[in-house]
Amino acid sequence: MKKILFIISILFFLNSVNANNYNNQLNEGIELSYNFKLNEAARVYDQLIKASPDNPLAYYHKSSLFFWKLMSVPDNADFDQFLKYSDLAIDKINVMMKKNDPDNDLLLLAGNTYTLRTIAFARKENYLECIWAAQKANSFLEKLKNSDPDVYDAYLGLGLFKIFLSQVPSSFKWALEVIGFKADLKLGLEYLTLAAEKAEKNEVESKFYYAFILSELLHDYRKSEKVLARLSAKYPGNLLFSYFLAVNSIKLRDLDVAEKQLQKIQRVKNNPLPKLLAFTHFLMGDVHFYSGNYSKAIRFYTDFLAISKENDYKGIAALRLGYSYDLSGNRRKAEEIYALTGSGSRSIDEDRYAERKGKQLTSRIVYYDEALLLYGESLVMRGKTDSAESVFNKVINEGTEPEMIAEAEYQLALLYLSSNELRKVKELAESILSKKNLSEVWLYPYSLYLLSEIAVRERDQESFAEYKNRVENYSNFDFPSRLEGLFFSLEYRLNNSVEI
């Protein structure tokens, strides 16, 4: 949920509800926001509030600036300021609605205002307030959709809610049932797709979230990249577009493009997004780690651990930092860093894995097979698939550690999956599943994922159901959230005949 919440939060402050009576000054503020000149945008909104104190639009946009700061680095002062301007916007909206029946623009503004509140309360883990705000937002947006189904801007918020609320903790599911709110990932995706294709006032936001969904839920990185590249070209000052383009490029193994986008963000003076800036150091560490440039990886991971104010991904950063020292021949420093792998977030798969792995590596050296695996993975990330295949086969044929051999089989299977060599993938997955008592338990359910991927590509519903059921036999393994996401993607593709 944390990841979805953060991603959904980080762009809503840019949302523009371009009502017909927008004056040039408000549009100027919105454009400044799109180009990340946030202080200048705030001054524009302050001028509008002073000139037109009864107009809710400037209050909404001013609240959205504090909202984003709250999402970036949790701060009670920012939360209070967000609520102050959000409350003022709602007060002005209510006055206008009492005077006249709301038009489409006012309904959309009301829906977006409550959407921000929903996410802000969720960020503060106040889920009852979150769900109440969600009900209000959904009510306004549904009314807008029902009055005119061709107002496609409404589908952005409606789609996000159906995805977001599916992430609410199970202990609060009863509240959703009481208010009759139905979370639906599939319908949420359909709404977002519709908004991305046809929204007018929320065109930019819809396209961004569509790109995010393509990448994170459907793993269609190529299509996502095209959308993000167009957005980044149109708004070169937008740090969010640059950041997610970099993330997507890493997933596509295009490390050079990722590095350029990250450098672009780091060159910005007085960066208004401290959390984003911190994560650029983490990603730059990854770029150099996978490139085999351990001295630079050490510098960027160290910077990330020093400047990040939250625990998210500190565990996996420490693990890769330790590997970088170890593979550079500095075992003493590596042991010191491995001891920090427990500093990450317990809610993040990679951090939990890093803590477990770090405990092992404080008491033993990196195995030769393990070093080969890391080298093979870096070759894959650099696009040197033939060389990577040779490395993985070397571990499989000559390795001495059963877990390392099984992991090499898994990595090789992923390589063959990318080239659609499904017979080889199946053989390797079944080889892993035949092994008994592997300490790396995650290899079993992830091998079933590989078989499930084959079933989806072959449109084999029966086999897919079998493999998915077998996954449920496993517990207490690494990366459970990631696996859940992978199976969501598979099921969506299978049921909707989506090719990736």
| Confidence grade of residue 41 (pLDDT, cut at 50, 70, 90) | very high
Read off the pLDDT band of 17 (50, 70, 90). very low
Q: pTM for the whole thing?
A: 0.85
- Residue 106 pLDDT exceeds 60: yes
Q: How confident is the model at residue 16 (pLDDT cuts 50, 70, 90)?
A: very low
Q: Is the pLDDT of residue 246 over 60?
A: yes
pLDDT at 175 over 70: no
Tokens of 123: 């960020």
Count of H-run helices and E-run strands, the chain: 26, 0
Residue 306 tokens, joined: 């020093």
pLDDT tens for 365-392 read: 999 999 999 999 999 999 999 999 999 9
Q: Give 171's contacts (C-beta < 8 A, 6+ positions apart).
A: none
User: pLDDT at position 1, please?
Assistant: 56
DSSP code at position 367? P
Tokens of 350: 């990679």
Distance CA 317, CA 302 (A): 8
How far is it, in rounded angstroms, from Cα 268 to Cα 262?
10
What does each C-alpha distance from 473 to 236, 386, 442, 487, 488 come to in angstroms? 48, 35, 12, 15, 18
What per-residue confidence (pLDDT) applies to 496?
A: 79
- Greater pLDDT, 74 or 228: 228
Rounded Cα distance, 239 and 245, in Å: 10
Q: Contact, 409 vs 417, CB < 8 A?
A: no
Q: What was the pLDDT predicted at 74?
A: 64
47-78 burial, b at 16+ Cβ within 10 Å, e below that, comes to: ebbeeeeebbbbbbbbbbbbbbbbbbeeeeeb
Are 60 and 113 spatial neighbours (Cβ–Cβ below 8 Å)? yes
- Tell whether the model's pLDDT for residue 468 goes beyond 70: yes
Q: What count of residues does the chain have?
A: 500
Pick the residue with more confidence: 374 or 177? Answer: 374
Three-state DSSP class for residue 309: coil
Quote the percentage of the chain above a pLDDT of 90: 66
How far apart (Å, rounded) are the C-alpha atoms in residues 330 and 324? Answer: 9
Stretch 291-318: mean pLDDT, rounded? 96
pLDDT value, residue 330: 97
Lowest-confidence region among 9-13, 145-149, 269-273: 9-13
Is residue 166 scored above 50 in pLDDT?
yes
DSSP 365: P
pLDDT in the model for residue 21:
45
Summarised one tens digit per residue, pLDDT across range 114-142 is: 988 987 888 787 878 888 898 899 899 99
pLDDT-derived band at 20 (thresholds 50, 70, 90) equals very low
% of the chain exceeding 70 in pLDDT? 90
Max mean pLDDT among 65-74, 103-112, 296-305 falls in 296-305
At residue 46, what is the residue type? Answer: D
Indicate the average pLDDT of the chain.
89
Give the pLDDT score at 176: 64
Residue type (1 letter), 80: D
